[in-house]
Structure 1
Amino acid sequence: MSSANGRGEGGAEGAPPEQLALIREGVRKAREPKAKPRTWRGAALAKERPVARVLVDKGVLHLDRYFDYAVPEELDEAAQPGVRVRVRFGAGGRNVRGGRREGGGLIDGFLVERLAESDYAGPLAALAQVVSPEPVLGPELLGLARAVADRYAGSLADVLQLAVPPRNARAEQKPSPAPLQAPGVPAVGSWVRYGRGAAFLESLAAGGAPRAVWNALPGPGWAEEVARAVAATLASGRGALVVVPDGRAVARVDAALSSLLGEGRHAVLTAEAGPEKRYREWLAVRRGSVRAVVGTRAAMFAPVRDLGLVVIWDDGDGSHSEPHAPQPHAREVLLLRAAHDKCAFLLGSWSCTVEAAQLVESGWALPLVAEREQVRGTAPLVRTVGDGDLARDEAARAARLPTLAWQVVREGLRQGPVLVQVPRRGYVPRMACAQCREPARCRHCAGPLEGQDAGVLLCAWCGRDEAAWHCPECGGFRLRAQIVGARRTAEELGRAFPAVPVRTSGREQVLDTVSEAPALVVSTPGAEPVAEGGYAAALLLDGWAMLGRPDLRAGEDALRRWMAAASLVRPQGAGGTVVVVAEPTLRPVQALVRWDPVGHAVRELAERAELGFPPVSRMAAVSGTPEALAGFLAAAELPHDAEVLGPVPMAVTEAGRPRRVGGPPPGEHWERVLIRVPPGSGAALAAALKTAQAARMARGGSEPVRIRVDPPDIG
């Protein structure tokens, strides 16, 4: 007869307390796992700590835990915590705590720790192979990966795929160089331009952990300033990590570090380096040969020894958001590292994101800004061309450039190169009425008309030709491209200024630098080359296209892209002028004119707080087919303060066209819900979503449901 608590202690309820304790102790010992045999299928096991706890490389949530395996004697020396192993995992045996008893294919994994005993009662499968004796997964990196997986409702294995690069045998066989002595404390340099700049560097050199949001002054000096912050940290005997958006930014910081510190004191981690070189550089960091790292997004997990400083430049750039599961953002990962390692944190940009403003508003970080007079002395003059100006400008209606822009280009070309930023690359064929700018639509299905070769108009939805289009609003018959891309703009500018060379920078070819000779440089946002001595002028065309996107971050992102381009222009005192074609009364345009990105971000933050939008609230996007999404939401035990918004249909991707990350497969109709929770409930929301997804996958759900915590575009 069993007791009510189900522990098999029937008849003991009336026993004295001492006797009851003895009974319970006997029951506990009886239930303890028996000592494991020191052999497995006749093979001898390791004498010390014969159990290996392994994380298998299966990025599915219902297998997001460790599995125990026996350590054969011949693998005892090599099977150390942190090494890569191969184990049998698949059909056969029970999927409880230990490895499979029999059958199953070989799968990669990481050996997390060695134990004397396993809490799994059945026989353990043995490790099949130690892939390499190189310990690549230390406890610090494992803890960081677990924190990132929990924050983004993902699996630990998926995070480690992002954090640990693939093995390269030749790179492992090459010894890393001996670590160099710490360099001396660098001079403050151009940090004196900022009110607390000198104090920030002094704190780093003294071993402190200051946290700052840095609004960098216009110009190319940001890379050298980052290098000085890294050098100050190295002087204190600690390591530093710098994450930037792209390879061109990496090259600038790399050159600044080499110039300031010399060769051999920092590693560069980018995908463009190739698998062998990247893995060799990563090993040098893990082995402690170098303590400074600069790289793109994946470098956020770099295992820097004695981490003293983490830096992220231009955190609003979309490149910082990882497209692979669980899609972490580099800024949030570095914030986790700064909190866990108690190290310094520096977020820098020409502009300012709402998340950066929130760090300052909460008191977690201090602002690192220049005085207004210093800003005015380094920023270019910004002038605007609004819709009213365009309507009155005959040149703007008939050609690509408003009169003011044409005059600025003409004057700028007398002094040097002129930058022209356009929102898109190539030819963008969507058409609009040249008179009233009403989008041109198909008469049969109201789909958008696209311009084809030889002037043919084609509907993007039904594919029908439109030979006799006229505007239903104003009756006009003339059309022009709604948003003209880089190549088309370059052609039009080439006709307007026939004696001036025109260069383009975009997807096909991104230019790093251009000379100081007069030239027109047409670029898409983010691909602007640096001009020697700075650009004489810049045109920011089609501003309404960026501001009109149906996205919460449209204004913030447009301002960030404008400021990135305008920061490459000479100061106003040297004749630098920027013309932005956008309505001058809009808040982002005014922030550009005043060169006040911080004020713009603070006002945006206040509005989002009032409306309950991120980053004040935490939010997750869940998408799938209507049936799968409804089933998931019904099973998920969301926090009591969670608010479900939606569902709303997602755009269907046509077959043969690339789809957005996280979007529906071609031809499938998906829906999306947004789940919002107030501050303090973000961890509970992530845990609830992860638990529901794991249970759903364990049941064998066939239709996919995608989860993204902190989605960058919520529309």
Structure 2
Amino acid sequence: MTNDGGGAELIPGLGEIPRVPAGRGARTGRSLPPGGSAAGAKKKGAKRPAGELPVARVAVDIPLPHLDRPFDYLVPDTLDASAVPGCRVRVRFAGQLVDGFLLERAAESAHTGRLAYLERVTSPEPVLAPEIAALVREVADRYAGTFADVVRLAVPPRHARVEAEEPPAPPQGPLAPGGPGPWADYPAGPSFLAALGAGRAPRAVWTALPGMEDRTAAVARAVAVALAAGRGALVVVADGRDVARLDAALAAELGPGRHVALTAEAGPSERYRSWLAVRRGTVRAAVGTRAAMFAPVAGLGLVVLWDDGDDVHAEPHAPYPHPREVLALRAHRTGAAALFGGFTRTTDATQLVETGWAHALAAGRLTVRDRMPRVRPTGDDAQLARDAAAQAARLPGLAFETARRALAEGPVLVQVPRRGYLPGLACGRCRTPARCGACQGPLALRSAHAAPYCRWCGRIAGDWHCPECGHFHLRAVVVGARRTAEELGRAFPGVAVRTSGRDGVLDRIAAGRALVVSTPGAEPVADGGYTAALLLDGWVLLGRADLRAGEETLRRWMNAAALVRPGGAVVVGADAALPAVQALVRWDPVTYAERELAERREVGFPPAARMASLTASPAAIRELLEDARLPAGAEVLGPVPVGAPEEARERALVRVPRPAAGDLAQALRAAQGVRSARKAAEAVRVQIDPLELI
């Protein structure tokens, strides 16, 4: 691509580029004569375009919003064989060599000026499949992002040595899955498998019964049915531990060589090797974490997402796509079946059921009662009558007695919402929160013998005294997992106490007498299941300033309680009258999610409505909103300050009805392009449907 003498724009760090849009097909363009160049040059050694389909449409790796379109280049005859759609290329863009992906080859271009040649083909491997390229474009439009940002999430970095390796032979022999297996516990389970095996596209929101092994076995059986029907399958889970469990279940169900695991823990080269096996069609089943949502599975027939409410699924890089949305788009585009499961149900998944996009898949109430643990809150009337301090005590008599009896039969799980030792401190006399004298950050303790320190700046506050009353003694406001383990070790002498959290996550523990103290999401699986679970400090989870606080609390509780063996005991430290506690006692997450969705619909909160979050300085937000042609009915909420005061950053929320979600994304994307073309000094962070609104 070269400048044809028309208007040009200067991009900082890139130089001049023409203002001519890229061609998107043979509309008004001119054909190139065979063997002739764009400039008609016939000098010795001059490049000549390929004889057939000489125009290459390239997605250049430039994330500027106003350049978010393909650009046309000429394919020299020397690169004709290697310049295949989907390969990586290097092109000259505004005087610099940049990377890109060759999207397609065409006979002519709509660009009327001179076209530059491809500089080289980085690799002839067609890593960007046409289906994935179309998905990347749709995801970028859905989240008001750019193609370049999304394709970085979809295609892993290249490893030349891995590409040069001889690909393994695909597995031979037919795959014959057995009967419904764990799906027999669900009234609609066998019919879901039958539709999947017949090549149809059933879509289900699955509320799984308690039990980790049954869950992984059920997913593996669904994957086997899809593969036996000649289609591919893709499973996305939250973390590496879930990947390992499903990897083992799939190996047992499918046999060797029929699936791959895609995780960052495997290392860049091994992950790229597994990803290439999927792209080349050597295997047609893959399981992985959120990056695997773009895995180029051939003949995709089933997408599975486990625990879509886990915040680990949230992509931290722009444009912040969520696997639930991406997999729903893939299922719609390819006609694949979809299975979104979890021990609980999110309001987003409930929205899919209520709109008819998916059907509910759950067990009958009698089966649920047989499989669920017995749940008791510490603050019910009967307990308070026997133990008046039960509502205020951190480990009331009910929890202590439950743990003592359960330890005689096996391990007991203790879930603590906060990690660390004492992550929150206050004045021992007037209860004023303890703050750092330098930055006003919260003070905490790392151990019983350590001095208090600031969780923001790390300063030691050994000489702290209360600014309100002058007292110098501190008391705990929030107790962390390590302090809890210390207290339980004293309360149950002779019992092994193990911790699982950020400092070290346990994957599995043996059956036996033990106390396992874990933060939410780090609970290890116990052989044979836990005999009991204590869910402490429920007020910490329920009291968070978050729209999804109740939904997220119930999800964390049920994920922990699902590890308890059927008929085991679960004690939850929260008021029995709270809706989330009642949903746990009845093991009825569906009713709770339906109620939550109805309440949010009344007040216009997601997922009943769509929202966009705009974060930047006040001037940048104001400028973006002035440039954006927001759809009719859009409401702008805020902006309000966010972060530290010295950062001078604000956030505005734009709310629209669900049918206008596409118009909102298009308006914000166009406004970002206008600011980018103007060379605005500050970028605005745009998030569609952010997880945190408060």
User: TM-score, length-normalised on structure 2?
Assistant: 0.89
Is 1:504 aligned to 2:504, yes or no? Answer: no
The equivalent residue for 1:339 is 332
Structure 2: which 5+ residue stretches go unaligned? Answer: 1-27
SS at match of 2:625: helix
Find 2:196's aligned residue among 178, 186, 204.
204
Find 2:162's aligned residue among 171, 193, 199.
171
Change (3 A) 1:399 1:493: farther
The equivalent residue for 1:259 is 252
Is 1:69 aligned to 2:101, yes or no? Answer: no
Is 1:367 aligned to 2:325, yes or no? Answer: no
1:455 is displaced (CA, Å) by 7.0
Deviates more, 1:672-681 or 1:387-396: 387-396
1:359 is displaced (CA, Å) by 1.2
Change (3 A) 1:250 1:43: same
1:249 is displaced (CA, Å) by 0.6
Question: In the aligned structure 1, how far is the partner of 2:553 from the partner of 2:399?
Answer: 19
1:456 is displaced (CA, Å) by 5.3
Deviation readout 1:100-139 (Å, 9 max, x if unpaired): xxxx221110011112222222221111110111111121
1:406 is aligned with what amino acid?
Answer: F
User: TM-score, length-normalised on structure 1?
Assistant: 0.87
Q: Does the CA contact (< 8 Å) of 2:495 and 2:513 recur in 1?
A: yes
Q: Does the CA contact (< 8 Å) of 1:440 and 1:471 recur in 2?
A: no
SS at match of 1:44: coil
Deviates more, 1:382-391 or 1:326-335: 382-391
The equivalent residue for 1:303 is 296
Which structure has the greater CA radius of gyration?
1
The equivalent residue for 1:148 is 139
Q: Does the CA contact (< 8 Å) of 1:82 and 1:110 recur in 2?
A: yes
Change (3 A) 1:466 1:61: same
Find 2:679's aligned residue among 700, 703, 708.
700
The equivalent residue for 2:341 is 348
Is 1:533 aligned to 2:528, yes or no? Answer: yes
Count of aligned pairs between the two proteins? 655
Find 2:120's aligned residue among 121, 126, 129.
129
RMSD between aligned alpha carbons?
Answer: 2.7
Change (3 A) 1:182 1:692: farther
1:53 is displaced (CA, Å) by 1.0
Change (3 A) 1:538 1:121: same
Deviation readout 1:394-434 (Å, 9 max, x if unpaired): 88799852221111111111111111111121124312477
Q: Does the CA contact (< 8 Å) of 2:29 and 2:111 recur in 1?
A: no
The equivalent residue for 1:664 is none
Structure 1: which 5+ residue stretches go unaligned? Answer: 1-30, 91-103, 654-666
Find 2:572's aligned residue among 568, 577, 580.
580
SS at match of 2:108: coil
Is 1:59 aligned to 2:63, yes or no? Answer: yes
1:215 is displaced (CA, Å) by 0.4
Change (3 A) 1:35 1:199: closer
1:386 is displaced (CA, Å) by 3.1
Q: Does the CA contact (< 8 Å) of 1:390 and 1:402 recur in 2?
A: no
Question: In the aligned structure 1, how far is the partner of 2:235 from the partner of 2:338?
Answer: 10
Change (3 A) 1:282 1:447: closer
Deviation readout 1:574-626 (Å, 9 max, x if unpaired): xx111111121111111111111111000000001111111111110001011
1:332 is displaced (CA, Å) by 0.4
1:175 is displaced (CA, Å) by 2.9
Change (3 A) 1:196 1:628: same
Q: Which residues of 2 match residues 264-413 of structure 1 at below 5 A? A: 264-386=257-379, 400-413=394-407
Question: In the aligned structure 1, how far is the partner of 2:438 from the partner of 2:271?
Answer: 54
The equivalent residue for 1:414 is 408
Deviation readout 1:541-584 (Å, 9 max, x if unpaired): 11110111111100000100000000001111xxx111111121
Find 1:493's aligned residue among 471, 479, 488.
488
Q: Does the CA contact (< 8 Å) of 1:457 and 1:466 recur in 2?
A: no
The equivalent residue for 2:12 is none
Question: In the aligned structure 2, how far is the partner of 1:284 from the partner of 1:610?
Answer: 48
Change (3 A) 1:444 1:280: closer
Question: In the aligned structure 2, how far is the partner of 1:286 from the partner of 1:455?
Answer: 53
Q: Does the CA contact (< 8 Å) of 2:86 and 2:129 recur in 1?
A: yes
Question: In the aligned structure 2, how far is the partner of 1:157 from the partner of 1:461?
Answer: 35
SS at match of 2:676: helix
Deviation readout 1:428-487 (Å, 9 max, x if unpaired): 431247799775568999875544775755677897766555998xx9997532221111
Question: In the aligned structure 2, how far is the partner of 1:298 from the partner of 1:364?
Answer: 24
Change (3 A) 1:397 1:143: closer
SS at match of 2:556: helix
Question: In the aligned structure 1, how far is the partner of 2:641 from the partner of 2:488?
Answer: 41
Change (3 A) 1:435 1:375: farther
The equivalent residue for 2:13 is none
Is 1:596 aligned to 2:562, yes or no? Answer: no
Give me the identity figure in percent: 59
Change (3 A) 1:304 1:32: closer
SS at match of 1:511: coil
1:489 is aligned with what amino acid?
Answer: T
